[in-house]
Structure 1
Amino acid sequence: MENLVSNIPVIQNRNPANARRILNNSVGLNAVNDPADVLQIQNYLKALGYPVQNNGSIANSQTDNTIISILNFQANNNIQVTGIINPNDQTYNTLKQLNSASISLTEEVDESLHQPFITNSFIFRRNAGNANTLNVIFEGDSWLDYPVPRVLDLYDTITDRNQRLNLNCLHLAKFGETTSQMYADRANFVQYISGYRIDRIYFSGGGNDVFPQLGRILNAGVTLFDASFFTDTAKLNELKSMSSGDSLYQKCIRYKRYLNTATFDAALFNTVNLNRIFTVIMRNYLGFGSIINTHATPNTIFYMHTYDYPLFKLGVRPSIIGVDLPLGPWIKPVFDRLGITDEILKAYIIIRLLDKFYALLLQIKNHFNYYGYRFQCRIIDYRGLLNSSEYWRDEIHPNSVGARRLSTRVNF
């Protein structure tokens, strides 16, 4: 999905209670911008998850949130990008149409208990020869296979969001698997990609390689965020003046460009161990890439994704009906053992580690391109999207709302 600016839409509730049915004047960049019409458009956009304020006002600038959301909505729906909405034009009619649709997935719907493989594979095989289907393999970890009922994962929300494409999906993901375990258990993947036309592969892997190994990745002895780690003293003092919580973590993400990465990395990360872990991940990704390359066509697209920064619910374990499951947490215990209590230091360890993982995925993609692999490769970058505790289920997994938010970046 291409966006003109960084604000990404999120589907939350497609039935805005306060949206009016008739738009009388133009709304947007250099438009008439009658407050009542602006409020209607803001209600529509916010109901689709765009980050706007329902205030009935617009500042005629490219940085106004409503205008940014209009621009992104037009780009995301293949509408001519003008930044303006007129009565009964294509943008307005599309907004009304989307808002009249009902959400097909809710957290009360037990969608995360995916079909058993024998049933899922039978349905996939039955439909795979249909020229009108888009055949998709999902392989990966708990971001595609969250083990708690009634919590939507990315598999649920991506397939729901793209159902207009007549998807025919094979679900191979298993929660808790490392990329090495996925590769060792590749028999079904090989069987189906070699035996059927596969149009898309969505792959989620690496989190279980990295986070359980955090104790080996971090150096001991650094417990406070040193001033030498930052290039802007005023910005660092601003962070230090804030208490822990969402606002601090959000600002740490925004200020990551002021991190002196060379100094920080040298102090915090055991480079030898981290490189070993990343080398294993890369080897397994390239192994899957070789399998795909053998059977793919130039129309096959291989999707890899980053994880988002798990800053907002450190120490929270997966649970069901209020009872903690014997899973995790993976990050906070390591910080506790190393004596790391500085919230800024915690934040930048996580931010930097996830940014390094993105660089690893980029290296993998460049490998595919350089050596002329036949399939297309795309990286879905989720970093910074789940920027509030309201989007996280536990320490490292999004909740249903977060999964819907992530799925807006996936367009098959």
Structure 2
Amino acid sequence: MKNPITIDELQRLLEDEATRAEALADYFEYLPTGPFTGEYRLRNEIKVVKHEPVDAESSSEAESLINIRDFLITKANGLARGVRDKLFEERKQDGERIVIVTEGDSWFQYPRFKPAGIPLSKEVKDVIDYLIEDERFAVKSLGGAGDVIRNMFHMSEYLDAIEQYTPKAFVLSGGGNDFFEVFPRMVRKGSIDDIETFLKTTWLTEIEVIRTYYKGILQILTTEFPELDIFVHGYDYIMPRPDGKWIGRPMIETGGLTRDEDRKGLIKFIMDKFNRSIEELSEQYEKVHFINIRGTVPQDPQFWHDEIHPNDYGFRLVADKFIAQLEEVLIRAN
């Protein structure tokens, strides 16, 4: 590993598929920044320079350059989407494939990579990875780890993609980061006889805010694209691990929920409410289909990568539910 390294050298390593995985592992670290998000950052010890130092005394050339760091971090974080975009551009030419546009958070775009020999490998295969593997679909993925439903609504990137690619379906995953990024501040001491007492009343406001953004998105989509099939979902019962920074630990340290079954009970209560809110909204629109994935991934550590994300097998179970619903609406119905 070369250190210092010039910006051109590091950029070439990231752009070359044969060296990308090794470059990410050597020069970057992946840091979780929220319950549904994380990002690549240059390791502290790495120095990125404009040019090769002429000699050891050319210290000014070996100093870290903040603007260059920002540029490279943005490039590293965008690698996953670039790989998916390349596949989509190839596959949309196949008239037999059904074009789908997807927008979502880290359940649709888990960003972290791991070296796997020469090729680059996703550390976790998410829902969209499995949809992309299905030979019947060409998937335009707009997802990004940490994306929140309010940004999806305001940025409306999916509207341009739908206009451009005329997909048969739009698939949306959102709201989890909106809710769980503030979850630690919602928890309080309560009574096990009434599980809702472990939540401040603001939790219901958060659910309603998320529902309002969903409603805005669905209103626009069903008006602008009345023939488009739209698929939405709530999340499964996530895994509140005792060491979990965003879910488990706040439940224990703030709420006093020391028993695993009590923490899982609170998650079930929250996710049932979350799911019902989105499902009831979807029923107001003929072309909006709700995918119920509750109870799909067992609340058992062997199915979960961390407290928020299933592992490969867990996401495979979730993806099967999506694929079955897509089949029923887009393929069998025709």
Is TM-score (shorter-chain normalized) higher than 0.5? Answer: yes
AA partner of residue 194 (structure 1):
E
Q: TM-score, normalised by structure 2?
A: 0.64
Match for 1:225 among 187, 192, 217?
192
AA partner of residue 146 (structure 1):
Y
- SS of the counterpart of 1:116? helix
Residue 282 in structure 1 maps to residue 211 in structure 2: yes
Specify every segment of 5 or more residues in structure 2 that has no aligned partner in the other structure, as ranges. Answer: 1-77, 114-121, 327-334
Alignment map for 1:256-295 (pairs within 5 Å): 264-265=195-196, 267-271=197-201, 273-295=202-224
Q: Using the TM superposition, give the Cα deviation of residue 283 of structure 1 relative to its aligned residue in structure 2, in angstroms.
A: 1.9
- SS of the counterpart of 2:151? helix
Alignment map for 1:9-408 (pairs within 5 Å): 114-116=80-82, 120=85, 124=88, 131-149=95-113, 150=122, 151-160=124-133, 162-163=134-135, 165=136, 167-186=137-156, 188-218=157-187, 220-222=188-190, 225-226=192-193, 229=194, 264-265=195-196, 267-271=197-201, 273-298=202-227, 300-311=228-239, 313-316=241-244, 329-335=245-251, 336-369=253-286, 376-387=287-298, 388-408=300-320
AA partner of residue 330 (structure 1):
W
Q: What is the CA–CA distance in structure 2 between the aligned matches of 1:205 and 1:269, rounded to whole Å? A: 21
* Paired position in structure 1 for 2:63: none
Q: Contact between 2:132 and 2:138, CA under 8 Å: does it hold in 1?
A: no
Q: Contact between 1:152 and 1:403, CA under 8 Å: does it hold in 2?
A: yes
Deviations 1:95-135 (A, max 9, x none): xxxxxxxxxxxxxxxxx963418x71x76567657653311
Q: 1:360 to 1:394 in 2, by over 3 A?
A: same
Q: What is the CA–CA distance in structure 1 between the aligned matches of 2:290 and 2:318, rounded to whole Å? A: 13
Q: What is the CA–CA distance in structure 1 between the aligned matches of 2:91 and 2:301, rounded to whole Å? A: 40
AA partner of residue 257 (structure 2):
I
Q: Using the TM superposition, give the Cα deviation of residue 178 of structure 1 relative to its aligned residue in structure 2, in angstroms.
A: 1.3
AA partner of residue 229 (structure 2):
I
Q: Contact between 1:194 and 1:295, CA under 8 Å: does it hold in 2?
A: no
RMSD of Structure 2 on Structure 1 (CA): 2.5
Structure having the higher strand fraction is 2
The runs of at least 4 aligned residues of structure 1 exceeding 4 Å deviation read 122-131
- SS of the counterpart of 1:281? helix
Q: Using the TM superposition, give the Cα deviation of residue 282 of structure 1 relative to its aligned residue in structure 2, in angstroms.
A: 1.4
- SS of the counterpart of 1:193? helix
Q: Which moved more, 1:173-182 or 1:131-140?
A: 131-140
Q: Using the TM superposition, give the Cα deviation of residue 143 of structure 1 relative to its aligned residue in structure 2, in angstroms.
A: 0.4
Q: Contact between 1:124 and 1:170, CA under 8 Å: does it hold in 2?
A: yes
Q: 1:196 to 1:294 in 2, by over 3 A?
A: farther
Q: Using the TM superposition, give the Cα deviation of residue 153 of structure 1 relative to its aligned residue in structure 2, in angstroms.
A: 0.9
AA partner of residue 401 (structure 1):
Y
Q: 1:126 to 1:353 in 2, by over 3 A?
A: same
Q: What is the CA–CA distance in structure 1 between the aligned matches of 2:213 and 2:92, rounded to whole Å? A: 27
Q: Contact between 1:315 and 1:332, CA under 8 Å: does it hold in 2?
A: yes
Specify every segment of 5 or more residues in structure 1 that has no aligned partner in the other structure, as ranges. Answer: 1-111, 230-263, 317-328, 370-375
Aligned length, in residue pairs: 236
Q: Contact between 1:305 and 1:382, CA under 8 Å: does it hold in 2?
A: yes
Q: 1:197 to 1:125 in 2, by over 3 A?
A: farther
- SS of the counterpart of 1:382? coil
